[in-house]
Each structure stands twice: as C-alpha cells, then as structure tokens.
Amino acid sequence: MSQEKQATFNRRRFLKHTGQGAMLIPLLSVTGQSVWAAEKIKEDDPTAVALGYVHDATKVDLAKFPKRAGEEGAKQFCDNCSQYKATEDGWGTCAIFPNKLVAAKGWCNVWVPMA
C-alpha cells in the first residue's frame, strides 16, 4: 500500500510540474522570448536551395530566379518581406524557414511585399 501511495504522489507531482512548465511556453511567446534558440540557416539547406535563398540578395542567380531581376526585384530583401520578423544583428525569423534565422539582406523566391 505504501508503494501505491508513493506512485500516486509521484504521478501527481509529475502532472503538476508538467502543467506548470507547459504554461510557460505561451507566456514566453507573448513576451517575445524564444523557447528554442533558432540557428542561422545555411545556404545549402535543402529548403533554402529549393527556394533560392541566399544570405546576400545581390548574389541571386537572376537566370534561375527572374523575380529578383529588374528595378523592382532589386528592392526585394528579407527585411522588407511580410514573412520576416527582425530579431537582432541583421538576422530574423522567417515563416518559411521555421526555427531558423535568415539574413536581413538575404532573399528567397517566396519574397512577398509587406502589406
């Protein structure tokens, strides 16, 4: 019987602490803190390659991605895309690349102007 009470106590304590920890996740999201540290995306990441992402938008292959060509294309950077949210030091998060940081002066083919 003693073991049964101990098991119940441990289960209750586990559930209590798990619930308390889970409540912190939305709170941290609201305060702008990231629960998991994002890392800078690598240009050879498969998704980045597929979307033509580069850290320096001036180095986009215009033959492959003509969207970036011309006067309007020259104005396209991650930091003026609706998918981008600045974090620090010229990097930010992007809805297209979850848990990754992209360069503010980068570019990818999913660039969308800010509304």
pLDDT score at 13 = 73
Mean pLDDT of 53-67: 96
What gap in Å lies between CA 107 and CA 113, rounded to an integer?
12
CB–CB of 103/41 below 8 Å?
no
Confidence of residue 33 (pLDDT cuts 50, 70, 90): very low
Instruction: Strands of the chain (E only): list them.
Output: 39-40, 84-88, 91-94, 97-103
Give the number of other CB atoms < 10 A from CB of residue 47: 13
Looking at the predicted structure, is the pLDDT value of residue 99 above 60?
yes
Residue 44 tokens read as: 């050879």
Mean pLDDT of 96-111: 96
What gap in Å lies between CA 21 and CA 61, rounded to an integer?
46
Q: Which residues of 76-111 are buried (b: 16+ CB within 10 A; e: fewer)?
A: bbbbebebbeeeeeebbbbebbeebbbbbebbbbbb
User: Could you tell me what percent of the chain has a pLDDT over 90?
Assistant: 64
pLDDT score at 38 = 81
